[in-house]
Amino acid sequence: MKSLEVDLVYLWVDGNDQEWLAKKKQFLGETTDLNAEAITKARNADNNELKYSLRSAEKYAPWIRRIFIVTDGQIPKWLDQQNEKIEIVDIRELLPPEALPCYNSVIIEHFLYKIAGLSEHFLYANDDMFFNAKVDPAFFFTDEGMPIVRLQRAFTNKWINKCRKRFKLHTNIYRKTIERAALLIDERLGKYYSGTPHHNIDSYLKSDYQRVSDNLFRREIGSTITHHFRSVDDIQRIIYLYYALAVKRGTLRYVTRRESCRIRLHKPDFMEFIRTYQPVLFCLNDSHHATDADRERVEPFLSTLFPEKSSFER
């Protein structure tokens, strides 16, 4: 595999920041008819995950060239800003004025390719995603430099419809935004992908991002940017990976829990997942099902896995 320059991008918000919360609440007071899923605490709760995700990146993927942390006017208190490998990017540098204020990560993700100095090959992670074993660029990109697209196998529509009738299953905002992305690719490129995101660190080409956002689906994505909070009409960033597959600029791989494990915050024993699957990547996923008591278990767990400070900390 040819040598690649690969950057890592995070989206991060300190939902415990009282000033930020006050601005959000003030704006929220002017907004009505929002789905509770769009404004749940899980969307911006900060359990210090970013600190430990950076520790995991430095330990297991030291070849990463630069790290960009995209924030809404915030800087982690523990971050060493003198470290030349890391850079804070304010969302106002990326988003157009009509998208602001933005409390919708789905919208912010469509503008990642506008980060100044971002490499053609980049990884994207939420702050609750972690490396758990040594990896090299070949884990994320093919020998030709194309992204490896990791998806979860989806249940068939027949099975879903059967379960809906029996158990009254519902489709949440997240699933609807994925489905919209899949349908757009099907309509425009004649390829439908039923696999869903593995909800973990993904690899992208900046040029693919630009083709999709600025050209192929400019009108569709543009129509969503004033969604200040999550909406069923949003388009999930999986559209960039579906595109890569559709135009043969990506390689599909269905994940197992050994490769990519999603640990839900409201589940009782985080470490049991690690011991059982020993995943290369894992996500510690917050949701509206989690309680503050669940969130209090996060840092003790992560400090056990990643006890040594990284060079990104003061």
Per-residue pLDDT of 107-122, as tens digits, reads: 999 999 999 999 999 9
* Of residues 14, 122, 146, the one with CA closest to residue 67: 122
Distance in angstroms (rounded) separating the CA atoms of residues 43 and 286: 8
What is the per-residue pLDDT for 75?
96
Checking if the pLDDT of 61 tops 90, the result is: yes
The percent of residues above 90 in pLDDT, for the chain, comes to 77
Distance in angstroms (rounded) separating the CA atoms of residues 202 and 125: 7
Q: In CATH, what is the architecture of 6-305?
A: Alpha-Beta Complex (3.90)
Range list of β-strands (E), the chain: 6-11, 67-71, 86-90, 121-126, 129-131, 148-152, 196-197, 202-205, 251-254, 260-264, 281-285
Q: Quickly state the pLDDT bin for 224 (edges 50, 70, 90).
A: very high
Radius of gyration of the chain (CA): 19
Would you kindly state where each structural domain of the chain is located, as residue ranges?
A: 6-305
What is the per-residue pLDDT for 305?
97
Q: 131 and 60 in contact (C-beta within 8 Å)?
A: yes
Checking if the pLDDT of 289 tops 90, the result is: no
- Regarding predicted confidence, which is higher, 43 or 72? 72
Mean pLDDT to the nearest integer, 272-300: 91
Average pLDDT, the chain: 90
pLDDT digits (tens, 9 = 90+) for 12-54: 999 888 899 888 888 887 655 555 544 454 445 688 999 999 9
- Regarding predicted confidence, which is higher, 165 or 106? 106
Mean pLDDT to the nearest integer, 95-106: 96
The pTM score is 0.90
Distance in angstroms (rounded) separating the CA atoms of residues 99 and 239: 20
235: β partners: none
